[in-house]
Structure formats: structure tokens, C-alpha cells
Amino acid sequence: MPGQALEVQLLELTRQLMAIPSISSDRTQCHRALDWVIEQIGPLHGLTRHDFEYQGFRSVVFSTRPDRRSRLVLNAHLDVVPAQSAQFEAQIRGGQLWGRGSYDMKGAAAVYLQMVRDLAAMQPEDRPDVQVQFVTDEEIGGHRGAERLVPEGFVGDFVIAGEPTNLNICHAAKGVYWVTLHLEGSPGHAAMPWQTNNPLIRLGQGLQLLQQRYPAPVEPVWRTTATPTGVLAESSHNRVPDRVSLKLDIRRVPEHTQQQLAQELAECFPRARLEVVQDSYAHYVDPANPWCQKLADLQEHELGWRPEFYREHFASDARYWTNAGIPAVCWGPCGANMHADDEYLESDSLSTYHQLVARLVTSC
């Protein structure tokens, strides 16, 4: 397909996919987006399609082989974060596609959709060993999509999550460790504090120690952060509560273990009960990994510049493969402002990304 026609087609696929308000919490719309992708791919001409469902969350995998393991895995999520209704009406402004999901990550999903079409159009004996995955729950943790696909055997020698990276390569990301600390005390009348054991006092002391251990950064830094996000204490204005709970959002670097974190929290909040709400792996692959270098070499050859390897502060589905010992990176098109009201995608990066993905796929 000529370059100009391909760019128009990829842009139209992205626009139509964006029109489906597939917010993670809306299973009907997420599955509508998945069914739309399946319909747009059309005849498989011998490709294998795996349909997977876990706890009401659907995923689909297209593979050039009947086996679940492939040499290369491409992964895209079709769910998005909430947005105003107008944001689902894609707008093109000066070479940019604006709207929810354009950058994160329906543009890359459209490229992967087209890649499945391209694979289906090949002669079976010419098809490389690759699979393309579409999941519907990445924005809420991926626990029923990617996290389940890995133990089900949908793995490969190398995995690319098409998250927006401006054609750089994200090789590491912090793990998510959400906890609630419960502190017990002795209630009583606030006018007679000597008769009480106020858990709020201990909470304040603990927060001071926590701030000393994890000072809030004023700019992006690659270290663990521990951010208080809520305090729960049911009591009247004149009563010391018998218990108080503190919510913490901890983003840990890969070398910082959950066991270390639990010990450090115990030192800041003695005798507090630790409730783990979410414990998601950190993501890490060595940039010197041969697959990572192959990807960087390919892009440098095609575009004339070498992508930067960088580390990210938020999580992606790539962590589920690296936790299983499989190298995985995030690598996707260009744009800005994911999750914001002014999210946009650089339109011409779609055809560039397709060019790069196609080169990588055919090299497998």
C-alpha cells in the first residue's frame, strides 16, 4: 500500500476506534472495541485466533502459529481512562489527532490491527513467528488480561507493549504498591486526652518519619516514592477515635523489594497493621539485551536516529512478562498528554511506527 494511502487508513482506523468510549469500567464498550477490531481484521487466511476471557474480561490473540508461544509478541490495550463525551470525537488539528485514547494507545492498536491484516495477506510459508494481543483492562491494572495471559502461555522471546513512548524505548518502570496502615488506639472524650491513646498522634509522628525516609520529590527522580493519599477516622468532633487508617500510594523502583518496604513502614508506624491493597511488579529489562539492541539498531537504520532507553514512573502490562523472565519493553508512537484533556497523537507517527513494526516483524 502506498505510504500516503497507508497513513490515511491508519488515521481512519484510529479515529473510528477512538469513537468507541471504551472506558475500563465499562465492559460493554470495551468488548465492543474488541469486537470492532476483530471485524476490521476480517478473514484470517490461516492465522490462529485465540479468544480468552477471565472474570468477564475478554482478550483476543492473533498468531501466525497454532502454538501459544511466539518469537515476537505485540501487545495493545483497547481500554482508556474516563473522559468527557466530546473527547471521543476525534479531531485533526495541524497534523495532530486529538481526543481520548489517541496517544494512549489506540493509535498503536490501529497499527497492530493493520499488522494482523498484513500477516493474513502473506503466504503461510512466508509468515514470521509472531502474535498480536488485544486486551481490555490495562488502565485498571491488567489483572484479568495480560497478567492472566502469561501463565496461560501467551508468551514469546520478546514482547513489545505499544504504549506511547515517542519512539523511544521504555525498559524499566516502577512497581505499584498500594497499602493501608491501620493504627489502633484508646478512644475517649477529646476534653480529657490524658484518658486516651490517640492513634492520630502516632499517625502524625509516623508521617514525619515517612517524609524523612521518602521525601516528596519536586522533579522526576528514579527512586521509590511513598505518597499519602487518604486518612480514614470515624469519630465525632469531640471524641478521640479508637482507630485511624492511612492510604499510601508507593511506587517502587525494581531493586526495592516489598519485604524491604514492609520493614521500613513498620519502623515508621510501629504496631500498625499493614493491609496490601495492590502489589504489582516493577518492570525491568537490561537495555543491553540482544532484543533491545536489535530494536534500537533497526530504528536507527530506518530513521537515522537511535532511540533513547529510559525509565518510567507509572506501570504498564510489560511488567507481567519481565516478571516471568521474558524481556519486554514499551515502544510506541509520538504525541503527548496521556490521560489529560488535551491528549493528542502526531498523525504521521502512525505510518512511521507501522514501518518500524513491519521491519521488526519480518526480521523474526
Domain residue limits, the chain: 3-173+282-362, 175-279
Dihedral sign (CA 117, 122, 123, 126): negative
Cβ atoms 308, 331 nearer than 8 A = no
Q: Is 70 exceeded by the pLDDT of residue 362?
A: yes
Q: Is 90 exceeded by the pLDDT of residue 5?
A: no
Mean pLDDT of 12-32: 97
Q: What 3-state DSSP class applies to 165?
A: coil
User: What tens digit of pLDDT does each residue of 91-113 get?
Assistant: 999 999 999 999 999 999 999 99
User: What tens digit of pLDDT does each residue of 178-209 get?
Assistant: 999 999 999 999 999 999 999 999 999 999 99
Per CATH, the number for 175-279 is 3.30.70.360
Q: Is 90 exceeded by the pLDDT of residue 120?
A: yes
Mean pLDDT of 121-141: 96
Which CATH number is correct for 3-173+282-362, 1.10.10.10, 3.90.1300.10, 3.40.630.10, 3.40.50.970?
3.40.630.10
* DSSP H or E stretch at residue 63: strand 57-63
Cβ atoms 83, 100 nearer than 8 A = yes
Q: What pLDDT score was predicted for residue 2?
A: 54
Q: Is 90 exceeded by the pLDDT of residue 279?
A: no
Backbone φ and ψ of 324, nearest 5°: -90, 10
User: What tens digit of pLDDT does each residue of 30-44 get?
Assistant: 999 999 999 999 999
| Whether pTM exceeds 0.85 | yes
Residue 67, C-alpha cell as written in the block: 502454538
Mean pLDDT, the chain, whole residue set: 95
First to last CA, the chain: 22
Q: What pLDDT score was predicted for residue 343?
A: 98
Q: Is 70 exceeded by the pLDDT of residue 282?
A: yes
Q: What pLDDT score was predicted for residue 30?
A: 98
Cβ atoms 317, 145 nearer than 8 A = yes
